[in-house]
A = this chain, B = another copy of it.
Amino acid sequence: MERLILNPSPGVTLMRKAYGEALVELGHAREDVVVLSADVQSSDFSCMFEAAFPERFINVGIAEPALVDVAVGLANGGKVPIANTFGFLFATRALEMVRTHLAFSGANVKLAAAYAGLSDSFDGPTHQTIADLAILRSLPNMAVVVPADARAVRRLLPQVAAWNGPVYFRLCRNELPDIFGEDYQPEIGKAVMLMPGQDATIIACGVMVGIALEAARRLAQEGIHARVVEIHTIKPLDTEMVVHCARETGALVTAEEHSIVGGLGGAVAECLGESYPVPLERVGVRDTFTESGPYEDLLRKYGLSSDAIVDATRRAMARKPSAAPIEVQSMCG
């Protein structure tokens, strides 16, 4: 798997810059792509598209409901609109528009959700987004895609544009380690096995993929072989892969830059319950709003760390029916 994941990571890339570049490339490749912003194009770097294709860029001002509705009108005219603003604004302020016209009517609009998770760290909890995966996933017909590094952004964005229907594309504001190599060829809807292992499976998305790999390497040093799977598409979920891993490893851990409620962990929990119940531990923000501060500090303080994944993996393994019986405290809530 050498060329699938890079170990060690050769460096970091600002994800929004990678996104801006990929957007410009997409603009060259597809004339039907139109980009919209709600006065934050300098934040999310869709301003790079504006500079390259001013006549295909629309700025609606600070009006996110209109942002989505204008995109819906453009889609009616055969365009492939990519609407840009902060993830929390799609998932809350403009959600009715997303539900009614994208999910229900199938308008072919793509939502590029900037500053997601805790990545707008200094702006604080009002700007952070810990419920967007749960919210978007609850809507029929939405695709929900979470790239984990700059290469993933570049390879997934054209697929987002080509996907037949609405997509929520969740982006990080900050520098993230480059984790994927040349051979990483993600496909919307398909999970990617990144590291083999039989003792447990760690399923991760976004920034947590790199952290999950780190956790798995630490566990390996103790002789615990955790499988690492990237699920970049939260919806439609690759349920086959989830069930496969449940069967083969008997214990699962999910890791996401999101609340433990309803997101990747929720999707996996539902799948397991209806298919193959095994112990599941969810690593994520524990159903609380966070605070302002440096990104790395926030991730650590709110339990989005390799420590947390290592602990969760041990807990999940201890709960396998075959494991020595120990008293495990319920953490659901």
Contacts and interface: CB of A to CB of B under 8 A. Distances in A.
A237 B269 CA distance: 16
B274 A270 contact: no
A266 B93 CA distance: 24
A236 interface: yes
A270 B332 contact: yes
Interface stretch (A75-83, A129-137, A206-214): A129-137
Stoichiometry, copies per complex: 2
A126 B100 contact: yes
A274 B260 CA distance: 11
A8 interface: no
Interface residues of A, number: 59
- The 5 A-B residue pairs with the shortest CB-CB distance, nearest first, are A273-B280, A92-B96, A134-B138, A277-B277, A271-B332
Interface of A: 88-89, 91-93, 95-96, 98-100, 103-104, 125-126, 130-131, 134-135, 137-141, 236-237, 239-240, 242-243, 252, 259-263, 265-266, 268-275, 277-282, 287-289, 328, 330-333
17 contacts: A91-B95, A92-B99, A93-B96, A99-B131, A103-B289, A130-B140, A134-B138, A137-B262, A239-B332, A262-B266, A268-B273, A269-B269, A269-B274, A273-B273, A274-B331, A275-B328, A277-B277
